[in-house]
Amino acid sequence: MKLKTILFFMGCMMPTIAFTQTFSGTYTTEWQWNMKKKTNWVNLLRLDMTLPLWKDGSLEAATIHVAKTNEYIIDDWQTFSNIEEENNYAAIALLGYMHTWEKVHLFVGVRNVNEDFFTSDVTSLFTNSSCGIFPTISASYPIANYPLSGLTVYFDVNFSRWTLKNSLYNGVGYNSWNRHDNPFLIRPKRDGVFNIAQLEYGYGNGSYFIGAAVHNRQYPVDEEGEMSPMVESLKKTSCAWWIYGEQPVWKVDDKYVSLMAQYSENTCRQNSCYRYAEIGCTYAGVNNQFGVSGQYARFFQGKEWSLELTWNKTINESLFIQPIFQYVRNGEGNFTVLSARVHYSF
């Protein structure tokens, strides 16, 4: 059944891909070493397609494909790599209808939070998962967060330097292809509902964000601080909020230095993670970016500190390489990781 569903989905996509010529993709491969005996090789392929239907409407679709050679190589809680997940050879990341007006976008269909929230010019350089979504949200709720997706209604409104974004999701995300585990499920009685909103402001090449996410279900946490979505959830509402800012502080020709800071809290201390903070600095020049960031997260089972040093080297318009060093300290011990990432777009 799973194979038939995959083949049907691909069969529907291929004729439209050939017709519209709007097919694109990215391939990211990352080698990881804990600077002792463990190594890992993680691969992520994403395929995107946009099919214009009429003047202001289009069908959008994307699939992700994840493969790795080993289990997690350190006992970190935030997950040091934002592409590392369990092997999944085909999952829907995006599938739905987008309508565009002059200052408004409206989307209905399957989507995940990473398509619209938490990514900025500075945070996109770093590879720790917490730079893609705050752990106060991702560790506390089994939502439509990579590699999971779910049915959603999303809109954004642009006015002058301000942008307002909002998404309403099924309360749990999925990525399989069977009857009881697929991203097309709507089960508010069991899964609850999840809403996320963010207000963005741009000024002087800087960006500032404030937002909140609300879930009307409480998910139990075990002794190790792991969320247990398979256990019956409680009908209890909690909220995570955040503020974020990044601002260039020095610029000469095409070279500039930017500073960033972000902070987030969850209103329920019984959730897996209820506090997070990060500060960082990046330097961008011609075909080079350097960055350093320090992170703090307060989990149910204790505190975690992490440091990331990274360098992104652009080879051409389609290819870049990125070595990364990370240091992590938590209740399980002290860990170091050396990674090398290659990203290719086509």
At residue 231, the pLDDT reads 63
> How is residue 256 written in tokens?
């500039």
pLDDT at 20: 54
Whole-angstrom CA distances from 285 to 120, 231, 254, 255, 259 are: 17, 49, 6, 4, 15
What tokens does 87 get?
A: 């092997």
Instruction: Tokens for 74, please give them.
Output: 């350190």
Domain definitions of the chain by residue range = 2-345
> CA 17, 19, 21: angle at the middle one, nearest 5?
60
- DSSP 8-state code for residue 48: E
Contact 313, 291 (CB under 8 A): no
Tell the burial category of 318 from Cβ atoms under 10 Å away from its Cβ (0-12, 13-18, 19+).
Answer: exposed
Whose tokens are 């995570």? That residue is 240
Structure confidence at residue 227 (pLDDT): 76
Predicted local confidence at residue 252, as pLDDT: 94
Per-residue confidence (pLDDT) for residue 4, from 0 to 100: 46
3-state secondary structure the chain: CHHHHHHHHHHHHHHHHHHHCCEEEEEEEEEEECCCCCEEEEEEEEEEEEEECCCCEEEEEEEEEEEECCCCCCCCCCCCCCCCCCCEEEEEEEEEEEEECCCEEEEEEEECHHHCCCCCCCHHHCCCHHHCCCHHHHCCCCCCCCCCEEEEEEEEEEECCEEEEEEEEECCCECCCECCECCCCCCHHHHCEEEEEEEEEEECCEEEEEEEEEECCECCECCCCCECCCCCCECCCEEEEEEEEEEEEEEECCEEEEEEEEEEEECCCCCCEEEEEEEEEEEEECCEEEEEEEEEEEECCEEEEEEEEEEEEECCCCEEEEEEEEEEEECCEEEEEEEEEEEEEC
Query: Given this model, what pLDDT does residue 235 score?
Result: 80
The number of residues in the chain equals 346
Cα separation of 87 and 71, whole Å?
10
Q: What is the domain class of 2-345 according to CATH?
A: mainly beta
Among the listed residues 78, 144, 88, the one whose alpha carbon sits nearest the alpha carbon of residue 116? 144
Separation CA 211–CA 13 (nearest Å): 35
Whole-number Å distance between alpha carbons of 83 and 17: 26
Cα–Cα distance measured from residue 68 to residue 275, given in angstroms and rounded to the nearest whole number: 30
Taking the C-alpha atoms of residue 323 and residue 184, their distance in angstroms, rounded to an integer, is 37
Backbone angles phi and psi of 128, in degrees to 5: -65, 140
pLDDT of residue 1: 44
pLDDT of the chain, 346 residues: tens digit per residue: 444 444 444 454 444 444 455 899 999 999 999 999 999 999 999 999 999 998 899 999 999 999 999 988 999 999 999 999 999 999 999 999 999 999 999 999 999 999 999 989 999 999 999 999 999 999 999 999 999 999 999 999 999 999 999 999 999 999 999 999 999 999 999 999 999 999 999 988 899 999 999 999 988 887 777 776 656 677 889 999 999 999 999 999 999 999 999 999 999 998 999 999 999 999 999 999 999 999 999 999 999 999 999 999 999 999 999 999 999 999 999 999 999 999 999 9
In sequence order, what are the residues at sequence separation of 6 or more whose Cβ sits closer than 8 angstroms to the Cβ of residue 211?
117, 196, 197, 198, 199, 241, 242
